Copies of this chain bind each other. A is one copy, B any other.
């Protein structure tokens, strides 16, 4: 029962997302879990989607922290990249509805603050990619464009896995295999 009502509403919404997906996050269920009446959330959030945006804001920060840790504690660029992708994929598979909320849902209202929160992890990712270029593991293209390509491939593989569209549904291994293949094929002088 710690934290303000507002914080507890966000936590409850995140838990409901994990347990039953988007459609199970009703304001009534969230309120009940916190122990307030079914319309008390309106004292803290404009509407349901603003509450979900609160969950997204929190989780973007968590992912940004994981990327920062990968960047600052890895001995080389290759392991930093792998650590970031493992953390990202593990988050997505453990919190599927939350992952989709953050990186896919078009109805998430994007105010300036949330856009900033979403951009921070990507900035760190670009730094990791640039490091990989400096170590000659990645080709010397424009770092932002190359990061966009790698991130799109990771998001695509993970989203297909979460959506049940991957051929075999092997979870983490399937996504990491796609990542390893990509890194191998992008490595300069690798396909002779």
B-contacting residues of A (Cβ < 8 Å)?
21, 23, 96, 100, 103-108, 110, 118-119, 139-141, 145-146, 148-149, 151-157, 159-160, 162-165, 167, 177-178, 181-182, 185-186, 188-189, 191-192
Most chain B CB inside 10 Å of its own CB: which residue of A151, A154, A163: A163
Give CA–CA (A177, B167) in the complex, Å: 27
Question: Which of the residues B153, B162, B165, B191 comes within 8 Å of A149, measured between beta carbons?
Answer: B153
Given contacts A163-B105, A165-B118, whether A152 and B156 have CB atoms under 8 Å apart is yes
Chain A at the B interface: SS class? helix
Give CA–CA (A106, B98) in the complex, Å: 13
Give CA–CA (A163, B110) in the complex, Å: 10
Q: Contacts A139-B185, A189-B191 given; 13 further ones with Cβ under 8 A? A: A104-B159, A104-B160, A106-B163, A108-B163, A118-B165, A140-B191, A141-B181, A146-B181, A146-B185, A149-B181, A152-B160, A153-B182, A188-B191
Question: Which of the residues B103, B160, B164, B165 comes within 8 Å of A163, measured between beta carbons?
Answer: B103
Whether B106 lies near A164 (C-beta < 8 A) is: yes
Nearest first, the 8 closest Cβ-Cβ pairs linking A and B are A156-B156, A152-B156, A153-B153, A155-B156, A152-B157, A139-B191, A188-B191, A104-B163
Whether A103 lies near B165 (C-beta < 8 A) is: yes
Residue of B nearest to A179 (CB): B149
* A189 neighbours in B (Cβ, 8 Å): 191-192
Whether B106 lies near A181 (C-beta < 8 A) is: no
What's the least CB distance linking A189 to chain B, in Å? 7
* A154 neighbours in B (Cβ, 8 Å): 156
What's the least CB distance linking A142 to chain B, in Å? 9
What's the least CB distance linking A117 to chain B, in Å? 12
